[in-house]
Amino acid sequence: MKKNLVQKIIEKHLLEGNIISGEEIGIKIDQTLTQDATGTIAYLEFEAMGVKKIKTKLSVSYIDHNTLQTGFENADDHLYLQSIAEKYGLYFSPNGNGVCHQVHLERFSKPGETLIGSDSHTPTAGAIGMLAIGVGGLDVAYALATGRFYLNMPKVVNIKLSEKLNGWSSAKDIILELLRRLTVKGGVGKIFEYSGEGVKTVSVYERATITNMGAELGLTTSIFPSDEQTKKFLKLQNRENDFKEISADEHSEYDEIIEIDLSKIVPLVACPNSPDNVRNVKDIEGTKLDQVIIGSCTNSSLTDLLLVAKILKGKKVKVSTIISPGSKQIFINLLKLGALSDLVESGVRVLEPACGPCIGMGCAPVSGGVSLRTFNRNFKGRSGTDDAEIYISGPVVAAFSALTGKITEPSGKIPRMEVPKKIKIMDDLIIAPRKTDTNVVIFRGKNIVPIKKFNKVSELENVIVGEVVLKLKDNITTDDIIPAGAKILPLRSNIPAISEYVFSKIDSGFVARVHAVAKKSSGIIVAGENYGQGSSREHAALCPKYLGIKVIIAKSYARIHKSNLVNFGIMPLIFKDPTDYEKIDISDKLEIENVQSLPSQKTLTVKNIAKNFSFNVTCDLTERQLKLLLSGGLLNCL
C-alpha cells in the first residue's frame, strides 16, 4: 500500500492501536524537549513517577522563556532544571543559548524520528521531516518515564505547493494565507503534510516558519519531506550524518488536499487580536507604528536576520526597532558576517536569544500603542500592554515598516542574499549528558513547590453538583486562562501562588468567586468553540483544578488543552446541542448525573436546577482517557 510521510513515520513508531483517523494510537517517542516555563512542573511530575532512567534516545531541557532573572525565582528554577538534567542524563541548553525550537531544529532534530515537547510550537522540527508534536508537560514526563505517547490519529491533509514565491513574499505569508483561509480552529484534529514541486523551492529555515505557525491553525503538527533542502541545511549545521531522505510514496492517499500556488502569495499581515485576522499589507499600509520587533521562534533564523540586515544597511529606522536572534549560533554568525553592525548602525536594539517580548518578558508597547512583530501570536494583552494593538508579519514587511514607522508594503530591488556555505557551529553552551549520576543532589529553591496528586472522582460523586463560575465566548486562549508576562511567568513552579492569576485579565473577581463556591460545591466553566487554544501550558488546567474547577462544558476544545484537562482530572464535556450554551448563565446551579456510567455511555444529562431544564453533554474521550479522568488524572494512574 502506498503511504504518505506521516503514515510511514507513525508505522515505524507504532506501539498500540491502528493507524485509522480518529482512533487512539500509542507511539514510541525518540526525543523530548522542555522549556523552563513548562519544564519545572514537567520534571516535578517526572520525579513523582519515581523512574530512575529516561527511556528516550535524546531529551533536552531548554532555558529560554523566563530569562530575565528579576528575582531569585528564575535563577532557582534554572538550577533545579540543570540538576535534573545532570541526574537523569538530559542535554541542558542554558539561559542565553536560544529559543528551544530554533536550537532544536539546528542542533538536534532528525528526519524520520518522533519528538514531543512541552511547548505548542514543537512542530517547528517538522521542517526537517520529524513528526514533532506539542503537548502538556505531564505527557513529556510520561514519555521520559515510559518512551510512550498517546494521541488520536489525526486526519492527514496534503498541502500541495506549486510554483515559487514571487517578489518580496515570504514563508510567513504562506502560513498567514492558510490562517486567512482556515482560521485558528481550522486545523484541529489534523496534520498538514507538505508536498509538490513548490516544496523544493522552500528552504528548511522557511519551512520552519510554516511548521511553527501551524500551531496557530490548531494542527497536531505539520511536516515537510526530508530532501535536498534538508541535506543542505544539515550540511550547514555540520550534521550530514543525521540526513535521511524520507517522503510520501507517489500517489499516496490523504484525507484532504489543499493546493497553494506560491506565485500568487502576496505579503500579508495578521491584525489585532488574532493570528487569523489576516489582511493584505497593501490594504492596511500607512498604519502608524510605535514599535517593530523581529524575532521569536517563528522568524529569527540566520537567513531571516541576514535579509533584514541587508534591507536596513546604511539606513536609519524611524521607530523603536528590536531584534532577537533565535539562537546563540545565529547571533555569533550575524556578528562574524558583519550583519550585526549593519543592524546596530541602523538604530536597532539587539536582545539576547530568547523568547523575550513574544511572551511579554519586556519591550511592552506604550499604552494604546501599535506594534508590528514577526511573532506567531497577537492575542490581547500577551505583549504586556492590555490595550496595545499587535500586528504580525514576516521579517521583510517588518524591516520596511521599521524604516518608515508605518506598515509598509516592501518594494524595490530584492538584495542578493549570500547565505554562507559554512557557518560557525556553536554548541559550547550546551551541557551534554554524562553517564546518569545518581549522586547528583537536586537543587530545589523555595520557588519550587512540589505538586500534589488530586482526589479521585469517587463513587460518591456519581452526581456532580456545581455552580457556573464563568461563561466565556469562542476561542478563549490559554493566555486568557493563565496569563504570562514578567509578573506571572516567574511563578510557574509555584502552583498556589500562580493560581491567584487564573482568568485575572478577563474577570478580576474570578478567583474569589471560585474560592467561595468551592466551599460548598464544584466550580463549572462554560465556554464556546475552541476552548484553550494557543499554548501547551498545563497551568491552564492545573491551576483551575487547584482552585476547585471540576468540569468545563464547551462547544469544542483545542487539542493540547483538552489533553491537559484530562491529565489533571477536569472533565472536558461538550454541548450535544450547541444552542444550549445560550440558555446557561453565570451562577446557575448544574447537576451532572450518572458520571460513573461514562466508560460505557458517552452522553450525560445535565440538570439546570436554577432554570429547571435539562440538556445533554458528550464526553468524547477514549477508554484510556476516561480511566485517567475518573482516577483524578494521570499522576494517580502511575
Among 40-48, 218-226, 334-342, 353-361, which window interacts with ligand SF4 (CB under 6 A)? Answer: 353-361
CA distance 8 to 253: 12
Site for ligand SF4 in 212-241 (CB under 6 A): none
- Least separation, in Å, of the C-beta of 484 and ligand SF4? 8
CB atoms within 10 A of CB 627: 15
Tell me which amino acid residue 185 is.
K
Q: Which one among 25, 297, 332, 542 touches ligand SF4, defined by CB under 6 A?
A: 297
Nearer to ligand SF4, 359 or 488 (CB): 359
- Least separation, in Å, of the C-beta of 536 and ligand MIC? 4
Phi-psi group of 254: left, alpha or beta (phi > 0 → left; psi -120 to 50 → alpha; rest → beta): beta
- Least separation, in Å, of the C-beta of 478 and ligand MIC? 7
End-to-end CA distance of the chain: 38
Among 167-175, 405-413, 535-543, 583-591, which window interacts with ligand MIC (CB under 6 A)? Answer: 535-543
- Residues 27-66, one symbol each (x = binds ligand SF4 by CB under 6 A, - = not), give --------------------------------------x-
Residue pointed to by grid coordinates 530568547: 354
- Least separation, in Å, of the C-beta of 381 and ligand SF4? 14
CA atoms within a 13 Å half-sphere pointing along the CA-CB vector of 514 = 24
- Least separation, in Å, of the C-beta of 19 and ligand MIC? 27
161 in Cβ contact with 195 (< 8 Å): yes
Among 49-57, 116-124, 180-188, 324-332, which window interacts with ligand MIC (CB under 6 A)? Answer: 116-124
DSSP letter at 560?
H
- The torsion of the CA quartet 382, 388, 392, 397, rounded to 10 degrees, works out to -140
491 makes contact with ligand MIC (CB under 6 A)? no
CA distance 499 to 319: 37
CA distance 544 to 563: 15
User: Number of residues in contact with ligand MIC, rule: CB under 6 A?
Assistant: 12
- Least separation, in Å, of the C-beta of 355 and ligand SF4? 3
383 in Cβ contact with 390 (< 8 Å): yes
Per-residue b/e over 17-42, b at no fewer than 16 CB within 10 Å? beeeeeebbbbbbbbbbbbbbbbbbb
Cell of 93: 541548553
Nearer to ligand SF4, 372 or 619 (CB): 372
505 makes contact with ligand SF4 (CB under 6 A)? no
Nearer to ligand SF4, 278 or 457 (CB): 278
CA distance 80 to 219: 32
- Least separation, in Å, of the C-beta of 62 and ligand MIC? 11
Nearer to ligand MIC, 30 or 119 (CB): 119
Q: Which one among 4, 32, 34, 38 touches ligand MIC, defined by CB under 6 A?
A: 38
Q: Which helix (H) or strand (E) holds 210?
A: helix 204-213
Tell me which amino acid residue 385 is.
T
Helix pair angle (559-567, 539-547), 10° resolution: 40
Q: Which one among 42, 60, 213, 355 touches ligand SF4, defined by CB under 6 A?
A: 355
Closest CA to 224 of 204, 201, 239: 204
119 makes contact with ligand MIC (CB under 6 A)? yes
Which of ligand MIC, ligand SF4, none lies near 173, with the C-beta cut-off 5 to 8 A by kind? none
Q: Which one among 221, 237, 301, 535 touches ligand MIC, defined by CB under 6 A?
A: 535
Which of ligand MIC, ligand SF4, none lies near 140, with the C-beta cut-off 5 to 8 A by kind? none
Which of ligand SF4, ligand MIC, none lies near 99, with the C-beta cut-off 5 to 8 A by kind? ligand SF4
Q: Which one among 87, 537, 559, 562 touches ligand MIC, defined by CB under 6 A?
A: 537
Tell me which amino acid residue 104 is.
H
526 in Cβ contact with 469 (< 8 Å): no
Closest CA to 139 of 126, 120, 156, 113: 120
Q: Which one among 4, 120, 124, 522 touches ligand MIC, defined by CB under 6 A?
A: 120
CA distance 238 to 252: 33
CA distance 112 to 6: 9
Among 154-162, 256-264, 355-363, 609-617, which window interacts with ligand SF4 (CB under 6 A)? Answer: 355-363
536 makes contact with ligand MIC (CB under 6 A)? yes
Chain positions contacting ligand MIC, by CB under 6 A: 37-38, 65, 119-121, 359, 484, 534-537
Chain positions contacting ligand SF4, by CB under 6 A: 65, 99, 119, 121, 296-297, 355, 358-359, 376
